[in-house]
Amino acid sequence: MLEGIPTRYDERLIVGYDTSDDASVYVLNEELALVQTVDFFPPIVDDPFLFGQIAAANALSDVYAMGGEAKLAMNVMCINSQMGQEVVRAILQGGYDKAYEAGVLITGGHTIEDKEPKYGLSVTGFVHPRKLLRNSSAKEGDVLLLTKPLGVGILMTAARGDLVDEALLRTLYSEMAQLNKTARDMMVRYDVHGCTDVTGFGLLGHALEMARGSGLTLHLESEHIPYHAEACDMAEMGFVPAGAYRNRAYTQDDVVIREGTRQGLMDILYDPQTSGGLLIAVSEDVAPQLAAELQQVISCAEIIGYVTRREEKALIVE
């Protein structure tokens, strides 16, 4: 859609939209670069405070996926005439709550009227130019880690039909509201080569972007991929969000999935996630140490695959 639209070149802009990365990066000096992103969406939960938390965590995640430290944010909000002031305030309080937890200052924002309410953040962070992480910089021999379980989109779709129990819903809410800051703070101490967060394109969509951008093939080991077991059953009952089918259409020509893989699991791999985890490409010799450190505070973090030279397909699910 952007083809033919004139853009200005600046050598200090070292990450733009050309590699489908999570944020833009602009170099200020030899030791400091600016990281910028924006993300907002309609409510996916009924509780306005929780919605604000999830939307803020999701927006902040893009900076963490670049290896950056988020510092400033501005509210982006759409409200309609049916929303009372207490609802609007609760959404904003949820966003401020997550920003405070992340050590981020919300400095203002912009609000407009719209038929459908929406909320998110424009986020500014910082990173050392030589410590920047991209989704296109994985290396042959790397090991892949994932820090949050999959299946959120399917289960939230099933929840609209009251088919998800309260205990599981509370777990899903907690995972979506969980900041990726802890994972970021740990991974930057290791020899990490590439990173992206798993959100709307699902695991396979974001992994494919990493594979194509890096010019390599990513192998995902399905038996090690963390996911909510209940999502398999719900997917096979037909509770698959429309975004999963779009993700399948986008990726399937460059993906091989092992024969005999359960249909529900295939749907999970394409399932769009909200505020999902980080997909990390890290040097093989330090991957076990990073995984062990992550698992001390993020129990579901797992090594899920590895990176090889470019093969016939960019993505292989084993």
Residues annotated in the binding site for ATP, as ranges? 19-21, 39, 62, 109-111
CB 282 within 8 A of CB 143: yes
Query: What gap in Å lies between CA 276 and CA 162, rounded to an integer?
Result: 23
Residue ranges of the binding site: 19-22, 39, 62, 109-111, 197
DSSP state of 238: T
What would the two tokens of residue 125 be? 């962070």
Report helix, strand and coil shares of the chain as percent, to nearest 5.
40, 25, 35
CA-based torsion, 112, 118, 119, 124: positive or negative = negative
Which stretches does DSSP call E strand in the chain? 13-15, 24-29, 32-41, 69-79, 105-113, 118-127, 143-146, 192-197, 217-220, 255-257, 278-282, 302-308, 315-317
Residue pointed to by tokens 């609760």: 90
Of 315, 163, 140, 164, nearest in space to 225 by CA: 315
